[in-house]
Amino acid sequence: MYSIIIGSFFISLLHALIPNHWLPVLAIGKKEGWALNETSRITFIAGMAHVISTVLIGIILGMIGGKLSEHMAEFAHFIGPALLVLMGFYFVRQHYAHQHFHLNKEQIKTKSKQSIIISLVIAMFLSPCMEIEGYFLLAGSKGWPLLLGIAAMYGLITITGMLIWIRIVYNGLIKLNWHKWEHNAGIITGLILIATGVFSFFIN
For the segment 43-53, what is each residue's pLDDT rounded down to a tens digit? 999 999 999 99
DSSP state, residue 141: T
> Which pLDDT band, with edges at 50, 70 and 90, does 131 fall under?
confident
Integer angstrom CA distances of residue 74 from 71, 79, 141, 197: 9, 7, 11, 14
> What is 172-188 written as a DSSP string?
T-----HHHHHHHHHHH
Rounded Cα distance between 117 and 110, Å, is 13
DSSP state, residue 66: H
pTM of the entire structure? 0.75
> Which pLDDT band, with edges at 50, 70 and 90, does 80 fall under?
low
- From the number of C-beta atoms within 10 Å of its C-beta (0-12, 13-18, 19+), residue 8 rates as buried
Rounded Cα distance between 9 and 11, Å, is 6
> Which pLDDT band, with edges at 50, 70 and 90, does 18 fall under?
confident
Residue 200 has a pLDDT of 64
Residue 42 has a pLDDT of 94
